[in-house]
Every structure is written in C-alpha cells, then in structure tokens.
Amino acid sequence: MAVRVGFIGSGGIARLHMQNLSRIEDVELVAFCDTAVERAKECANQYGGRAYDSHAHMFEREELDAVYICIPPGAHTDQEVMAAQANVHIFAEKPIALSLDVAHRALDAIKSAGVINSVGYHFRYLDTTDIVKERLSGQTVGMVLGYWMGGLPGTPWWRRMEQSGGQIVEQTTHIFDLARYTVGEITHVCAAASLRALHDVPNLDVPDVGAVLIWFENGAIGCISNTCMLRRGYRVGLDIFCRDMVIEHSSGSVRFIYPQRVEEISAARNGHAYESEIFIKAVRERDQSLIRCDYEDAVRTLAVTLAANESIQKGERVEVARL
C-alpha cells in the first residue's frame, strides 16, 4: 500500500521535501494546502492530487497517512493538533512554533494520538554526525563554538520577528539542535543581538548580528553566533573542543584535528533526503524509534532559542524552560 502524503505549506522547503518523497517507492503526494492557493495548485499540477487553501478542509476531505507541515513558525496554530486528532502521522519543519504554549498543545495531542512524529533537523541525519557522536563517546567536551554566518534570506516573513522569531530561532536553531544532539542538554543562555548593517532593508526588524553564550548540563560551555548581514555565505557549523581532539563539523564535511594528525571526512549522505526516507519507513513500520528528532526533542531545542531571545530582551542570563 502506498503512503498517502499531504502538505500544509507549498513553498521552498516543502518543494524540496516533495522532490525527495517523489523518489521514494510507493509514496503518493495527494494533497497540497497553502494560504496562497496558487502555490498549492502548482504542486498539485506537478505531482497530482488536489489543492486546498484550508488545512481543516484538507483533513476533512482527504484520507492521509502522513502530512508534512512546512509553514513559518509564527503560522503554527492548530495544524499538528488537527493532524494528530485525524490519526495522521506528522513531519514538521523546524522551528515548530514561536511559543512554548503552542508547541506544548501540539505535543500533548501527538502523545495522546500516538502518531509517528518527526521534525526536520536534517543535520542529525548526516553520516558525518554519526561519526562525530561515535568519536565523542567517552570524551570530555570542554567547549563548543557554533556559527551561522551568511546573508539575508529573501522570504519576506523571515524578516519580521513576529513571524520568524529572528535568526536565532528560525535558522541558527539547526546549530543549537546539533549542539544538543552531540554534546548534551543546554540549561542556561545569555545572549546579545543588534541590528547593525541592514537598516536600508525595507520591513526588516530582526537583528542582523547575535551571539549566545550557552551552559551545558554536563559542565561544558559554548558560544553560538550568527549574522545575516553578509553579501555572501561564509560559515555554518559547530566546532567541538576536547583535550586531544577538535571537531569542525559542517553540513558538507567533518574535520578531526588530533595532536599529530588531521582527518577530514566528506558527508556521503544527504540529510534532507534521508530524514524523509526514515520518516516514511517509520510510518510504514509504525516504529517511532527510527526517528532522530521527534516533536518532544524539537520542543527542547525551541526552548533554548526562545530563552536566547528572552535573554536579549532582559539583558541577563536566562534558564532554559524544561518540559
């Protein structure tokens, strides 16, 4: 039996997932929803199925096995709750919301329904991430340095705090999540951010530079910095420092620096494609254990980035909210 998949959101990241799903055997893309219904119609014309401008109508009229929720963080309301109540398995793009209240309501519904759930932190699905976790086993991590240094995304909603939450919440969330996944839970943050260079960009109120000092539960410390003011991409990744090993981890490769040698390994697996392969397998086998980032784990990452925004506003260290 084919896995019947619907989409809420039909923009850029959704279309990447559609391409990946179209390459998986016995997956049917059958429904597409977007507030700009023309985008949904474009996808329906390309892949077959029907277009909707209301996710409620889509759930009422379609027999779905799974749904991909690919919408701006500020647009999350009841999409996950309705999917769970309809017994539809859920793949949600990061970040999952702009408030912990919204995220907790969705998490409660997901747990109650028992549906398979996954969130799109694709760095977890890289084969190089597997290698990093293996080599960190038994090591004492002293500190981490993380980066998302690049340019301003063209999407209008990304430039508004009330829609995206800013770069820390919407984009650099990948680096915070990778730090949690490879090093451990983050307990406190202290952050600063500013709008320095992009004053000429219309309708922009997100900071274009920021840095977050982080404290890990295991005693390690770190700093994750970001900027969106550059005219070209520069650096995205996480550096991890141990006594006899430094790890430089990016989306394309990982570099291990030892006292007497340096080893570089290129990523052989596409994280975006593999996370969908695993999600579909988990849906078919009803096996949540296959998923590397479930919704509950994504709530924890969201809590870290929201705490960073709170720290920026208060100008003080903030404890990360616990589930």
CATH number of residue 168's parent domain = 3.30.360.10
- The residue segments making up the domain with residue 92 are 3-120+272-292
247 and 154 together in one domain: yes
Asked if the model's pLDDT at residue 191 lies above 90, the reply is yes
Whether residue 323 is predicted with pLDDT greater than 90 in this model: the reply is no
What the block records as the tokens of 320 is 């990360």
Looking at the structure, tell me whether residues 109 and 127 fall in a common domain: no
176 and 315 co-located in one domain: yes
* 21 assigned to some structural domain: yes
Residue 128 in any domain: the answer is yes
Q: Is 284 found in the same domain as 251?
A: no
Regarding whether 239 and 130 lie in a shared domain, the answer is yes
Same-domain check for residues 99 and 137: no
In this predicted model, what pLDDT tens digit does every residue of 37-74 receive, in sequence order?
Answer: 999 999 999 999 999 999 999 999 999 999 999 999 99
* Residues 243 and 314 grouped into a single domain: yes
Whether 66 and 200 share a structural domain: no
Q: What is the pLDDT of residue 288?
A: 98
Q: Is residue 298 part of a domain?
A: no
- Tell me: do 248 and 260 sit in the same domain: yes
Average pLDDT, the chain: 97
Domain total of the chain: 2
Q: Are residues 162 and 210 in the same domain?
A: yes
Query: Are residues 90 and 142 located together in one domain of the fold?
Result: no
Alpha-carbon span 245 to 258, nearest angstrom: 5
Domain assignment present for 159 = yes
Domain shared by 172 and 314, yes or no: yes
Residue 224 binned pLDDT confidence (cut-offs 50, 70, 90)? very high
What gap in Å lies between CA 176 and CA 191, rounded to an integer?
13
For residue 47, being part of any structural domain is answered with yes
**What torsion, rounded to 10 degrees, do the Cα atoms 33, 36, 42, 44 define?**
20
Residue at 44 is within a domain: yes
